[in-house]
Chains A and B, each alone.
Chain A
């Protein structure tokens, strides 16, 4: 789980990039709280070969990466 809520871009993408590089997870959940971060993290996930599912949460979005 990567919690990138409250962070301006590009921090959310950098955090996800680090996690993907370090552990190459098959699945990964990312929490963000603004649309810009949601778009950028989704774009990054897809570029790394993940399918990205987006669901709403109380204070933003949960992005679920799956290989």
Chain B
């Protein structure tokens, strides 16, 4: 099991390069690719939340879904399936998103931030690994969201169709959506170039099964490092790229769109790691599986978008560190409501883990 799977490594390198290029073309720093942030921006563009600085119809999300969809059709892996505890998955999706936005990034952005020298993300990685570890304990204890069943074609086509519709809206009717005029939402690569890059990333991620959670999870569960090579490949690529571009800055402070409130970075990413293990994959993987026709993963993505909307409507998302008019450094972090939300999310993930971990014999009786 120690043999290197080069598809995963190539995918990791490509995701790393894609992130660097998207940043050069206009995406926010250390946010070339972030599934949580971009779904949050889409939630804003669709007016599901009203945080004016984070609203944009990010084509990267639709590109990943459509890239995975196209390659799955070509390789005959497209298979409409659904029915594996969809409501639970919706809730877990929202919970994962609330945790991610407390930290200000999904596992992919955590890796990208690490590659930029963001020490907060390096510390958050400990929380993420702890969350994945706790999740694997429940997997070993019999955690199971039950099986999915073959579903009608329309179920599998739902997410790709929504993605295509959003691309069309972004291209021909951008006035129909909300777009930030300042802040991270206003910073973006050209729409079609970002879409094209994401199509390639989606196809590669589908082919290689790239998953930020799967790497750590499989290493813990089976001593299988296949997916972890992709995780490492992204970090190495981003570090090299940032060193070349002069963007590598090893520090906790003044990192782009990041806060240095350590406890909440750690707890936020713990929720993300734990919840994603229960879901069977990180936010990126959920998009790819939704593109392959998995209706349960599509529901998870919808849950994530609602979680993002709640985070911003209720002010639970992290506030980046900043500098005031006097030049004083202001540590950001999350509001008291956000702290309570993260703790409630931990409780929800724990309850979901416990109630779905019964032995098969008991659950059948």
Contact sample, A vs B, 25 pairs, CB 8 Å cutoff: A6-B83, A6-B84, A6-B148, A7-B84, A8-B84, A8-B280, A8-B294, A9-B281, A10-B214, A10-B218, A10-B221, A10-B222, A10-B280, A11-B139, A11-B144, A13-B221, A14-B140, A34-B77, A35-B75, A35-B77, A39-B209, A43-B1, A44-B1, A44-B222, A59-B150
Say yes or no for B339: interface residue by CB 8 A criterion. no
Write the nearest CB–CB distance from A52 to chain B, whole angstroms. Answer: 13
- The distance in angstroms between the C-alpha atoms of A10 and B209, with both chains bound, is 12
CB pair B79 A34 closer than 8 Å = yes
**Contact partners of A47 in chain B: CB under 8 A:** 1, 222, 224
Residue of A5, A8, A9, A33 with most chain B CB atoms under a 10 A cut-off? A8
Within 8 A of A (CB), among B179-219: 209, 214, 217-218
Distance in angstroms between the alpha carbons of A54 and B280 in the assembled complex: 24
The verdict on A17 contacting chain B, using a C-beta distance below 8 Å, is yes
| Residues from chain B with Cβ under 8 Å of A24 in the complex | none
B149 is an interface residue with CB less than 8 A from chain A: yes
- Report the Cα distance A14→B140, complex, angstroms: 7
Question: What is the CB-to-nearest-CB distance from B226 to chain A, in angstroms, rounded to a whole number?
Answer: 8
Q: Which residue of A is nearest B209, CB measured? A: A36
From known contacts A17-B222, A43-B1, A47-B1, infer whether A11 and B280 are also in contact, taking CB-CB under 8 Å: yes
Contact with B along A23-57 (1 / 0, CB 8 A): 00000000001111001000110010000000000
A6 with B217: CB separation less than 8 A: no
* A15 (CB) vs chain B CBs: closest residue: B144
Residues of B within 8 A of A (CB): 1, 75, 77, 79, 81, 83-84, 139-140, 144, 147-150, 209, 214, 217-218, 221-222, 224, 226, 280-281, 289, 294
Q: Quick check: A8 and B289 within 8 Å, CB to CB?
A: yes
Complex: how many Å from CA A2 to CA B172? 50
Q: How far is the CA of A21 from the CA of B76 in the complex (A)?
A: 34
CA–CA, A5 and B79, complex, Å: 13
Q: Is the CB of B222 within 8 A of A6?
A: no
Q: Which of A10, A34, A35, A59 contacts B217 (CB 8 A)?
A: A10
In the assembly, what is the distance between CA of A59 and CA of B79, in Å? 10
- Which chain A residues lie closer than 8 Å to B218 at the CB level? 10
Docked Cα-Cα span, A7 to B140, in Å, equals: 15
Q: Which residues of B contact A35 (CB under 8 A)?
A: 75, 77
B147 surroundings in chain A (CB, below 8 A): 5-7
**CA of A13 to CA of B222 in the docked complex: distance in angstroms?**
9
Beyond A14-B139, A14-B140, A34-B77, whether A8 also contacts B281 by CB under 8 A is yes
B348 CB to nearest chain A CB (Å): 20
* In contact, B214 and A9 (Cβ under 8 angstroms): yes
Which A residues are CB-close (under 8 A) to B221?
Answer: 10, 13-14, 17
Q: Of B83, B144, B280, which one neighbours A9 at CB under 8 angstroms? A: B280
Chain A residues whose C-beta falls within 8 Å of the C-beta of B209 in the assembled complex? 9, 36, 39
Q: What residues of B have a CB within 8 angstroms of the CB of A33 in the complex? A: 79, 81
A44 (CB) vs chain B CBs: closest residue: B222
Closest to B217 in A: A10
Contacting residues, chain A, for B81 (C-beta < 8 A)? 6, 33
Q: Known pairs A6-B81, A9-B280, A35-B77. 10 more at Cβ < 8 A?
A: A6-B84, A6-B149, A8-B148, A8-B281, A9-B209, A10-B139, A10-B217, A10-B280, A17-B221, A44-B224
Question: Within the complex, what minimum Cβ distance (angstroms) separates B298 from chain A?
Answer: 13
Specify which of A10, A11, A13, A47 lies most central, judged by the most chain B CB atoms within 10 Å of its CB: A10
